[in-house]
Structure 1
Amino acid sequence: MADAAIAPQDLAAILRWYVEQGLDETIGEEPVDRFALPSPAAAPVAVTVAMTPPAATPARPAAPTPLRAAPPAPRPPVPLESPQLVEDARALAEGCTTLAELEAAVRSFEGCALKRTAKNTVFADGLPDAPVMVVGEAPGADEDRLGKPFVGVSGQLMDRMMEAIGLTRAGGFYITNILFWRPPGNRTPTLAEQGMCLAFTRRHIELIRPKVLVLAGGVAAKAVLDTAEGIMRLRGKWASYRLGDGTEIPTMPTFHPAYLLRTPASKRQSWMDLLAIEKKLKDLA
């Protein structure tokens, strides 16, 4: 159909319709019908290229894999807190004949997991020939930092308590703990941790051979006396600690100074324990 056959008003209407549909400019000189199918001549011809496979290379026979003997199974390490470690600690402690040997054995012992988290090994303080030996529970933050037992706030209270009955670290009492490394967060030590360290503590007591043994706190009292009784029932009552040769050592369980700092009302009971210790020393003298 020729353009002359279309009325001008119709052409104007068509142009307005194009503009309304967004067609406001022309790109080519001739219109292109995009919906018309391409002619067969314009269709691309697919070219098939015959691929000649390469000549097959004869495969080499695979070399036989040499047989190797299976490696021996590794010996499993002794797990932490194993009863074997307690036995190792006991054997190591029993082999010590002097206090210096015992301290060296404690410092070299790697079986207790507490050593991995502690800064220092806290062995003891005071003169070994003092008449009184005090055994506490475990080092705290100050003790771990300085490497000495009972040097924090509770240790200062312990010093004042012992000075009240004429005992000082300069020669009146010797002090240690059943544990030589601080438990993380000052938590209560496990039975396995107590068992390993208690092996050294018992040998410690045998080498010191004090006239009077003082157990500060429930953990120390229950461990050393091998009892399930709590400190409320044990404190203020004389017990007896037997050495390997049969020697009996008078033993007084009492409150730990840290407990007295939390419950000052119990200081009166601790004062009675101190007076009993003072009287016992006079009787033994």
Structure 2
Amino acid sequence: MANPDQISLFDLSGANANAPSPEPSAPDRPADPAQIPTSPQIPIPPGTYGSLADLGEPCNRCQRCGLGTTRTHAVIGRGNPQAKIMIIGEAPGQQEDQQGLPFVGKAGQLLDKILASVQLDRDRDVYIGNAIKCRPPGNRKPTPSEIAACRPYLLEQIRLVNPQIILLSGGTAVQSVTGDSTGITRLRGQWRLWDDRPCLPIFHPSYLLRNPDRTPNSPKWLMWQDIQSVRAKYDQLNPSS
């Protein structure tokens, strides 16, 4: 018999490893941050940006890949910059591109419900970013060169937030952080360490919206198992919370 919490978790009615190491340490004379957005050949070493706010302007003028010519807004992140949980999505969609915020629309509503089902709040307990900061035309999958061009910004976000736990939402997020291009259906639910942090690949909410079945072993049923595992890991690392 299905858990009633699992059923309500996905009810939107009425709702409008073999990971590569992080980038090498910053050189004695780091690159000028003002020059970085002009070319993918210019590195972004750790420590380039002093705060998450410093990422906004460079990302919005970035031309490190071709996506800079078609974006409306770069989508950097939202939530608590000191959160213990960081969620990394894939790439902005049309609404995200227009608003400059990740996980808006129905995918964002579903993510809120998933978090709330284990007493986590998007604005208080998590910080949300995207692997790719600019929308690929037609919502196509980002290319390897686009992932590589944007990855240094993502690594800076992770460094600045310094989360205890990272959730990798979708295959592009997994590939961006860990370099693993294995399909998300094979990776989800398997905890791994990256940069000494526990990371969990999970389905992207938009994938769950396209797969409404809630029977055992369906994507939504599996997400219910995964989010409970996230809560258990959080409580393990924060026993007084």
TM-score higher than 0.5 here? Answer: yes
What is the correspondence of 1:59-208 to structure 2 with a 5 Å cutoff?
85-88=39-42, 90-91=43-44, 94-208=47-161
Structure 1: distance between partners of 2:144 and 2:64: 14
* Post-superposition CA distance 1:242-275 (Å, at most 9, x none): 0xxxxx1110100001111111231000111100
Structure 1: distance between partners of 2:67 and 2:103: 18
> Which structure 1 segments of 5+ residues have no match?
1-83, 243-247
Runs of 4+ in structure 1 deviating by more than 6 angstroms, as ranges, are: none
Tell me the secondary structure at the aligned position of residue 160 of structure 2: helix
1:216/1:256 contact within 8 Å kept: yes
Partner of 1:10: none
Partner of 2:194: 241
Deviation at 1:93, TM superposition (A): 6.2
1:86 aligned partner, one-letter code:
P
Tell me the secondary structure at the aligned position of residue 264 of structure 1: coil
1:199 aligned partner, one-letter code:
P
2:160 aligned partner, one-letter code:
L
Partner of 1:250: 198
Structure 1: distance between partners of 2:77 and 2:51: 14
* Post-superposition CA distance 1:42-63 (Å, at most 9, x none): xxxxxxxxxxxxxxxxxxxxxx
Structure 2: distance between partners of 1:179 and 1:206: 17
2:171/2:181 contact within 8 Å kept: no
Partner of 1:14: none
Deviation at 1:94, TM superposition (A): 4.7
Deviation at 1:179, TM superposition (A): 0.8
* 1:260 is the counterpart of 2:203: no
Structure 2: distance between partners of 1:94 and 1:180: 19
Deviation at 1:207, TM superposition (A): 1.1
Deviation at 1:105, TM superposition (A): 2.6
* 1:282 is the counterpart of 2:219: no
1:218 aligned partner, one-letter code:
G
Partner of 1:39: none
Percent same amino acid among aligned pairs? 37
* 1:210 is the counterpart of 2:158: no
* Post-superposition CA distance 1:199-235 (Å, at most 9, x none): 1101111111111100000111122111132111210
* Post-superposition CA distance 1:13-59 (Å, at most 9, x none): xxxxxxxxxxxxxxxxxxxxxxxxxxxxxxxxxxxxxxxxxxxxxxx
Q: Which has the higher contact order (CA 8 A, sep 6+)?
A: 2
Structure 1: distance between partners of 2:45 and 2:164: 26
Tell me the secondary structure at the aligned position of residue 95 of structure 1: coil
1:198/1:223 contact within 8 Å kept: yes
Deviation at 1:101, TM superposition (A): 2.1
2:55/2:76 contact within 8 Å kept: no
* Post-superposition CA distance 1:130-181 (Å, at most 9, x none): 1210000001111111110000211111111111111122211110101111
1:249 aligned partner, one-letter code:
R
Deviation at 1:98, TM superposition (A): 2.2
Deviates more, 1:275-284 or 1:164-173: 164-173
2:192/2:200 contact within 8 Å kept: yes
Q: CA RMSD in A?
A: 1.6
> Which structure 2 segments of 5+ residues have no match?
1-37, 214-218
Tell me the secondary structure at the aligned position of residue 206 of structure 2: helix
1:166/1:172 contact within 8 Å kept: no
Tell me the secondary structure at the aligned position of residue 96 of structure 1: coil
Structure 2: distance between partners of 1:264 and 1:106: 35
Give the TM-score of the pair, scaled to structure 2.
0.77
Tell me the secondary structure at the aligned position of residue 170 of structure 1: helix
Deviation at 1:238, TM superposition (A): 0.3
